[in-house]
Amino acid sequence: MPSLKELSKKEELISRGHRLCPGCGAGIIVRQVLLATDVPVVAGCATGCLEVATTIYPYTAWKIPWIHSAFENVAATISGVETAYRALKKKGKIDKDIRFIAFGGDGGTYDIGIQSLSGAIERGHRMLYICYDNEAYMNTGIQRSSASPMGCHTTTTPPGKAIPQGKSENRKDLTQIIAAHHIPYVAQACPAFHMDLIRKVQKALSVDGPSFINILSPCPRGWRYPANKTIEIAKLAVLTGFWPLYEVENGKYRITYKPRKRRPLREFLEAQGRFKHLLREENKQFLERLEREVEEREREIFAKAGEQI
């Protein structure tokens, strides 16, 4: 595992000056992911915030071979590239050791890309899929996705008389869905815990088969907080149990960060405008329901790792 000093000397593989919003979690995540690589990499990117803002024609922020796919099929695209690489390597036309990474947002991963992702990992392609999870369709107007947490305000779940709590449904637990495919490596990470994230990427790239990391990606525009608070809010997500940090390596669960003292979920919610309505007295029941849901899910993950929260 490289030290911070060693990482600071590595070449940045995504350039400055891209057009992601100030404070965007996705840009921070990509930077950390690419810092973790020690061999040549090829990246695929689904349509979304990351693709749109880093490759506005005729410019690109990527310093590695990169391919854009449709919203729904980056896993299929990068699995095809990986297959071509194996064929060319078998014929002796390529002798380099290359890794393949697919990036997709929650809309292109939890929702319209889940079939493509499930198929690619079931086929066993050696590729790492990174989901930068900002919990809504941010690129097209902050509409709810199945990653959006219960109780949040999106443009398609605005709190009001009809739905005072905002989004009514629980969020999909995609990390657990991918773990159920029994692939070599699955993890959850957070950019506020960068060494944990980098270590997980290195593990994922080292396995001979498919791997998946779900990374929380705070969004100042969609979550409604000041752009300079991204890392602070990402850290609160972990400390309150909203986003547990864990890995599943060959079926074995391990908690990779356990807060010394669990902070109240309310601290995470209060920092974001998308949950402002939940803090009103008339919505107390919905807030309590969300708190129970978060605690129950965290408890389940810890139990699978043989630990208690």
Residue whose C-alpha is closest to residue 238's, from 223, 258, 222: 258
Per-residue model confidence (pLDDT) at position 7? 82
Q: What is the CATH number of the domain that holds 239?
A: 3.40.50.970
Per-residue model confidence (pLDDT) at position 92? 97
Per-residue model confidence (pLDDT) at position 184? 98
- Local confidence pLDDT in tens for the 309 residues of the chain: 777 788 888 899 999 889 999 999 999 999 999 999 999 999 999 999 999 999 999 999 999 999 999 999 999 999 999 999 999 999 999 999 999 999 999 999 999 999 999 999 999 999 999 999 999 999 999 999 999 999 999 999 999 999 999 999 999 999 999 999 999 999 999 999 999 999 999 999 999 999 999 999 999 999 999 999 999 999 999 999 999 999 999 999 999 999 999 999 999 999 999 999 999 999 999 999 999 999 999 999 999 999 998
Q: What is the 8-class DSSP label of residue 274?
A: G
Give a yes or no: residue 24 inside a domain: yes
β-partners of residue 133 are 216
pLDDT tens-digit series, residues 187-219? 999 999 999 999 999 999 999 999 999 999 999
Give a yes or no: residue 280 inside a domain: yes
Its pTM stands at: 0.97
Give a yes or no: residue 271 inside a domain: yes
CB 216 within 8 A of CB 244: no
Q: What's the helix, strand, coil split of the chain in %, to 5?
A: 40, 15, 45
Q: What is the residue range of 215's domain?
A: 10-304
Give a yes or no: residue 309 inside a domain: no
Per-residue model confidence (pLDDT) at position 243? 98
CB 204 within 8 A of CB 185: yes
Integer Cα distance of 193 and 257 in angstroms: 9
What does 84-149 look like in DSSP terms, one character per residue?
HHHHHHHTTS--S--EEEEEEESIIIIITTHHHHHHHHHHT-S-EEEEEE-SSBTTTT-B--TTSP
Give a yes or no: residue 3 inside a domain: no
Give a yes or no: residue 4 inside a domain: no
For residue 169, give both structure tokens.
Answer: 């449904």
Structural domain count of the chain: 1
Burial class (CB in 10 A: 0-12, 13-18, 19+), 84: exposed
